[in-house]
Amino acid sequence: MLRNFVLLVFLWLPLQVTAQLPDFTDLVEKQGATVVNISTTQAARQQAAPQAPQLREDDPFYEFFRRFIPNPGPREFQNNSLGSGFIISTDGFVLTNAHVVESAEEITVKLNDKREFKAKVIGSDKRTDIALIKIEATGLPAVRFGDPAKLKVGEWVIAIGSPFGFENTVTAGIVSAKGRSLPQENFVPFIQTDAAVNPGNSGGPLFNMRGEVIGINSQIYSRTGGFMGLSFAIPIDVANDIASQLKTTGKITRGRIGVVIQPVTKDLAESFGLGKPAGALVSSVEKGSPAEKAGIEAGDVILKFDGKTVSSSEDLPRLVGATKPGTKAPVQLMRNKATKDVTVLVGEMPDETRNAQRQQQRREIGRAHV
């Protein structure tokens, strides 16, 4: 009798464990058709080979150089790359990563039903790595958007894309962290997951278990070039804001106040009279900038911007960048161990070309310009 009972327990336990695992089949069947494969072609120019010495025909080395060291001029060839994307409207708008379509002369979008379309770039934003492209088609299946703010760490998610060109590949994992800041990435609070993402997954959607897109798979951390358990997705609310601006104006407008900031360490927090490390320490203020006109000084710690708490220095560039230029934004500071309120008239961030030197300085000194 005891032996039969033990046998029943062992038979019952696997059923209980299996019942707790998620089933992705229904989600993939319904949402798989919204995911597309993107291939691009770029023209590249190869530099001319080193010139052979100019020798006379009677030189003993003339025949050697003529036969074995040819001297072709520069020539052009094509680079091909693969990525992923997903349909956001039934009339053919597709979201992907900016780096997927960067410098592309021709973009081909392949749907789940094997139909192929040529696409044009509506606009792209390198700072967030978002691009909006368009194919001429109607009646397409489109994704549903979720709310990344409601996403919980530990929640199941799945990625669909074309890793290494293998179309509609499905991988699953959990949300490992939220609001992750990456080096040289000041405008995206990344969603970190352990869903397997590899080259070719870029631009593909990250779904929650309700079949809603909550992110765009964009980057991995790897020492080998392949998946090592750390994948990063751009929250879909950030992507949608970029896509909306690109669709409406073809460009992105961001706010700027003209300060250089750095993190507040534990020692600095104690010296400033803060209960814990928080806020963004102003290292310097640009002359004539909106911050200077508002009375912000080097050594101030910005605690709130436009009513939103600045928990860490990484928060401020996102908050300022998301503010429309011309907005009067209240700013709460900590100065001389006392809080101070000022109002700043937000300016406009320069375009990427004019901002190149500033970005390089930021990389060199590890500080952020806002």
Catalytic residues: 99, 129, 202
Contact 99, 129 (CB under 8 A): yes
H/E run at residue 155: none
The CB-based long-range contact list for 183-187 (8 Å cut-off, 24+ gap) reads 184/359, 184/362, 184/363, 186/127, 186/314, 186/317, 186/318, 186/321, 186/368, 187/127, 187/128, 187/238, 187/254, 187/317, 187/318, 187/321
- The CA-to-CA distance between both ends of the chain, in Å, stands at 74
Question: Distance (Å, rounded) from C-alpha 309 to C-alpha 305?
Answer: 7
**Beta-carbon neighbour count of residue 277 at 10 Å?**
18
> Distances in Å between the alpha carbon of 195 and those of 94, 100, 158, 282?
22, 20, 7, 37
Question: Which residue bears the tokens 């900016």?
Answer: 98
How far is it, in rounded angstroms, from Cα 321 to Cα 254?
5
Given a contact cutoff of 8 angstroms between Cβ atoms, the answer to whether 285 and 259 are in contact is: yes
Instruction: List residues bridging with 215 in a β-sheet.
Output: 206, 235
Pairing mode, strands 205-208 and 156-161: antiparallel
Rounded to 5 degrees, what angle do the CA atoms 342, 348, 351 make?
A: 150
- Tell me the DSSP string of 29-80: HHHGGGEEEEEEEEEEEEPPPPPPP---TTSTTHHHHHHHS-----EEEEEE
Nearest alpha carbon to residue 167 among 110, 209, 95, 98:
110
As a residue count, the chain comes to 370
